[in-house]
Structure 1
Amino acid sequence: MIQLKDINKIYDDGFQALENINLTLEEGKINVLIGPSGCGKTTTMKLLNRLTEYTDGEILVDGESIQDLNPIEIRRKMGYVIQNIGLFPHMSIYDNVATVPKLLKWDKRKIKQKVHDLLHMVNLDPETYKGRYPSELSGGQQQRIGVIRALAAEPSTILMDEPFSALDPISREQLQDELVRLQEEINKTIVFVTHDMDEAIKIADQIILMKDGHIVQKGTPHDILANPANDFVKEFLGEDRLGSTLPSTSTFVNYNYPTITTDQTTNEAIEQMTSEQIDQLPVLDGDNRLQGMVQLYDLFRQQDQLIEAVMMNTNQHISEETETNQLVDIFTQKKEKYLPYVAKDGKFIGMIEQQQVFNSLQEFYRSKRGGQ
């Protein structure tokens, strides 16, 4: 885990690039620093491997101050991927990927196996590509090599400074997908700088939005989209990415969710829930209006009774007028697994499951392309 505590960066000419930065970069997550030009995002990232030194404050890596660590050792232990790729043109792809392991004096067989494994990981056949030179590869292929070179020494942290921004749109999307897929395998702490909100939404576990050397808002893509902190965040996101473009509440409804009526018995409810492998049922009256809910475990203590006598009355439900942002807020606040979905006249329509909502929204953000 990387922690930045009360970090300030003031240059010799008096310009304050960063002011009072407090940030935790989550372990095993993709942490995206984003904001307009000059906001301090690249400066923040360069503090981590001491390419830039901070003026005051403290940066801890796994509880240890980076001021107590050798800068050269830090850089060898942190992978670094830059915008212009930075492959050595006079070296083969094999030697480019093997650069840091060689500096660390790894065994030759271990290096060879690592290079082959990494090339396979990004779908480049080792026998075909390891002897080639950077000029013989496409831009997308070169950037793949840049990524795996940063992984070669098995660092716990990888810094990525706008690594895909110089690529054409198709290659860029492919590499974004590749990064998300790779992260599922490698589970590294990734710090990724970008100016592209669509890219951030697609790849990030945590977004850190910056302006004028300050952190304006941080959170998951959903947190930022659902609850922008101020007008700057809204403007930076753009109207097309806010609530109006989210899937409608109705898309999350299970219209076939089983129900029970007030005149049925607890035994019938237990049998139905056991058969359907669910632990709660909405209770309806004769006009199909929602009256309450019953929980499986409560019913075991109240068998042989009418449902009407044991159900829990509930005012907590989702209506057709509820927006998706509001739906997520309700689930977050109430800690419910399921909520009934009802029409304006109170008639039951179906059930919405919390996990399905969050899974669907995550997939929605990952699949966004160009704000569409």
Structure 2
Amino acid sequence: MIQLKGIHKVYDDGFQALQDINLTFEEGKINVLIGPSGCGKTTTMKLLNRLTDYTEGQILIDGKDIQQINPIELRRQMGYVIQNIGLFPHMTIFDNVATVPKLLKWDKQKIKQKVDELLRMVNLDPEVYRDRYPAELSGGQQQRIGVIRALAAEPSTILMDEPFSALDPISREQLQEELVRLQQEINKTIVFVTHDMDEAIKIADQIIIMKSGHVVQKGSPQEILANPANDFVKEFIGEERLGSALPPVKDLMTGTFATIDITQSLDEAIQTMIDQQDNDIPIVDQDHKYVGMLDLFSALKQKERKIKDVLTNQKTIVETTAMEQVISDELLEHQAMIPVVSNDDKVVGIIKREKWLEVLQHFYQLKRGGQ
């Protein structure tokens, strides 16, 4: 966890870049700093690895004051991704990614394993890309290398200063999606600077909106879209985005639900659905992983059969799914209940049709201005 307490930054010419900044960057979250040019977002980020020092206040990383940490050691403990990537053109992709592990004197075999693992993580075959040079890669591929180079020494914190802004729109969108997916695996504390509100909404767990060295508002994308703090925030977000926030999956699902093991009998499943007053129930295997849904009417018609012969391979929502994707997929068109699964395919909740329709009705009322 990173905490900024009462931070002020005043330059030698008297310019006050930051005024009384109080922030917490929670472990394992993507924290996006956003605001107009000169608002202090990049300065705030550079304080964290002491590329610049603050004038007043205190910054703690896991409870330790960063002023007590050697700046070089501090920077080696943090990954840093910048807009122009900064790959060394005369070095292979392997050597670029291995830069900090080599400085830390890691074992050669450990370095090779780590580089190959990271390349695979961003869907770049090590056998194909390990010995290439940056000039042989596309802009999007180079930026992927920039990201995994920042991960190579296994830092707990990654700083990202407008890393995708120089890319074309398609590459940029792909890398945004890649970052969100990657974060599910690496679970790092990420501080991400951008000027693009759509990017912030797409990737952030916490958005921090800044203006003239102050934090104007902070919160989840849903919180900020639903409740902008003032006219500046409304204008910065843009009227077209306001009211368009769907609640996260965790706010829609209920964690109280029954499941049936696929080895149980249909009679047992029918009785459970009657007891729960549900027409559908998730079916799981012996490892508690989701395998499908059973509906009551199919079960009643085919009581002599086994569950595996009657269940339907119904669509699911992964708990990290964006709700906009659910709308576009029309997931609930024929489903009374949506099972919500974790990344390891275990059922963690359900969303009932009536709850989803209630949310959709409210969503489209807001989109129409409440008419």
Assess, with a 3 A threshold, how the Cα gap between structure 1 residues 68 and 212 changes in structure 2: closer, same or farther: same
- Paired with 1:351 and 1:68, the residues of 2 have a C-alpha distance of 55
| Structure number with bigger Rg | 1
Does the 8 Å CA contact 2:226/2:245 hold for their aligned counterparts?
A: no
TM-score (norm 1): 0.69
- Paired with 1:129 and 1:253, the residues of 2 have a C-alpha distance of 42
2:7 — aligned with what? 7
2:175 — aligned with what? 175
Structure 1 counterpart of 2:16, one-letter code: Q
2:369 — aligned with what? none
- How far did 1:275 drift? 3.8
Structure 1 counterpart of 2:92, one-letter code: S
- Cα deviations by residue, 1:231-268 (Å, 9 ceiling, x for unpaired): 0000000000011x4569xxx999xxxxxxxxxxxxxx
1:37 — aligned with what? 37
Structure 2 counterpart of 1:152, one-letter code: A
2:108 — aligned with what? 108
- Cα deviations by residue, 1:198-251 (Å, 9 ceiling, x for unpaired): 0000000000000000000000000000000000000000000011x4569xxx
1:66-81 aligned at under 5 Å gives the runs 66-81=66-81
Does the 8 Å CA contact 2:206/2:219 hold for their aligned counterparts?
A: yes
1:157 — aligned with what? 157
- Paired with 1:276 and 1:15, the residues of 2 have a C-alpha distance of 64
Structure 2 counterpart of 1:162, one-letter code: E
- How far did 1:357 drift? 5.3
Does the 8 Å CA contact 2:222/2:246 hold for their aligned counterparts?
A: no
The match for 2:355 among 352, 356, 367 is 352
- Paired with 1:173 and 1:271, the residues of 2 have a C-alpha distance of 43
Residue 165 of structure 2 aligns to a residue in which SS?
Answer: coil
1:264-275 aligned at under 5 Å gives the runs 274-275=276-277
1:322-333 aligned at under 5 Å gives the runs none
Structure 2 counterpart of 1:48, one-letter code: L
- Paired with 1:204 and 1:9, the residues of 2 have a C-alpha distance of 25
- How far did 1:276 drift? 1.6
Does the 8 Å CA contact 1:47/1:54 hold for their aligned counterparts?
A: yes
Assess, with a 3 A threshold, how the Cα gap between structure 1 residues 253 and 96 changes in structure 2: closer, same or farther: closer
Assess, with a 3 A threshold, how the Cα gap between structure 1 residues 207 and 246 changes in structure 2: closer, same or farther: closer
Structure 1 counterpart of 2:115, one-letter code: V
Quick one: percent identity of the two aligned structures?
77
1:182-221 aligned at under 5 Å gives the runs 182-221=182-221
Residue 116 of structure 1 aligns to a residue in which SS?
Answer: helix
Does the 8 Å CA contact 1:81/1:161 hold for their aligned counterparts?
A: yes
Q: Following superposition, which runs of at least 4 residues in structure 1 exceed 4 angstroms of deviation?
A: 270-273
Assess, with a 3 A threshold, how the Cα gap between structure 1 residues 52 and 357 changes in structure 2: closer, same or farther: farther
TM-score (norm 2): 0.69
Structure 1 counterpart of 2:209, one-letter code: L
Does the 8 Å CA contact 2:225/2:245 hold for their aligned counterparts?
A: no
Does the 8 Å CA contact 2:143/2:163 hold for their aligned counterparts?
A: yes
Does the 8 Å CA contact 1:33/1:208 hold for their aligned counterparts?
A: yes
- Cα deviations by residue, 1:44-65 (Å, 9 ceiling, x for unpaired): 0000000000001000000000
Assess, with a 3 A threshold, how the Cα gap between structure 1 residues 158 and 59 changes in structure 2: closer, same or farther: same
- Paired with 2:45 and 2:276, the residues of 1 have a C-alpha distance of 53
Residue 147 of structure 2 aligns to a residue in which SS?
Answer: helix
1:186-335 aligned at under 5 Å gives the runs 186-243=186-243, 245-246=244-245, 274-276=276-278
1:145 aligns with 2:145: yes
1:125 — aligned with what? 125
Does the 8 Å CA contact 2:140/2:171 hold for their aligned counterparts?
A: yes
- How far did 1:180 drift? 0.3
Structure 2, unaligned runs of 5 or more? 254-271, 281-352, 364-371
- Cα deviations by residue, 1:159-211 (Å, 9 ceiling, x for unpaired): 00000000000000000000000000000000000000000000000000000
- Paired with 1:107 and 1:275, the residues of 2 have a C-alpha distance of 60
Assess, with a 3 A threshold, how the Cα gap between structure 1 residues 247 and 156 changes in structure 2: closer, same or farther: closer
- Paired with 1:55 and 1:103, the residues of 2 have a C-alpha distance of 31
- Paired with 1:113 and 1:217, the residues of 2 have a C-alpha distance of 42
Structure 1 counterpart of 2:98, one-letter code: A
